[in-house]
Structure 1
Amino acid sequence: MTIYSVMPLELVLDGIRQQPGPYLTVQAGDVRLQIEAVAPGIGRIVRLTDGPLDAYLRPELTPGTLVAYGATTS
């Protein structure tokens, strides 16, 4: 792999060996979200795993958005 960047290599590779997660799967209406818990009952959206196509265009479901959640499915 070749990386071309003006950033220092230490910044580019920072955290490369850290494992992501753990992730939770949450059903929010007709959309299934994969979230990363950041506090009890609050998570950051990682990605949408299932839902209607127009859900991918909704700004409140963009990755990185903080959401409140209750029940988890997995």
Structure 2
Amino acid sequence: MTIYSTMPLELVYDGINHQPGPYVSIKIGDVQLQIESVTPGVGRIVRLLDGPLDAYLRPELSPGTLIAFGHPSS
């Protein structure tokens, strides 16, 4: 792999060995979400896994949004 960049390599490869997660899958209504736990009962949406097409346009379900959740279902 060749990377052409004007940025220093330290910035390009910063965090390359950092493993994100752990992720939890929850279902809210008819939408399946993958979230990353921030604190107990609060998570950050990583991505939508399944749901109707209009769910992808709802701003409250956009990645990065913090949501409250109860008992996650794996």
Q: TM-score, normalised by structure 1?
A: 0.89
Q: Which segments of structure 1 move beyond 3 Å, counting only runs of 4 or more?
A: none
Measure the CA separation in 1 of the matches of 2:2 and 2:44: 31
Which residue does the alignment assign to 1:44? 44
Aligned residues with identical type, % of pairs: 73
Q: What amino acid maps onto 1:37 in structure 2?
A: S
- The farther-off stretch of 38-47 and 1-10 is 1-10
Gaps of 5+ in 1: none
What are the equivalent positions in structure 2 for 1:1-74 lying under 5 Å apart? 1-74=1-74
Gaps of 5+ in 2: none
Q: What amino acid maps onto 1:39 in structure 2?
A: T
Q: What amino acid maps onto 1:19 in structure 2?
A: Q
Q: TM-score, normalised by structure 2?
A: 0.89
Offset, 1:5: 2.9
SS of equivalent residue, structure 2 residue 72? coil
Offset, 1:14: 1.1
Q: CA RMSD in A?
A: 1.1
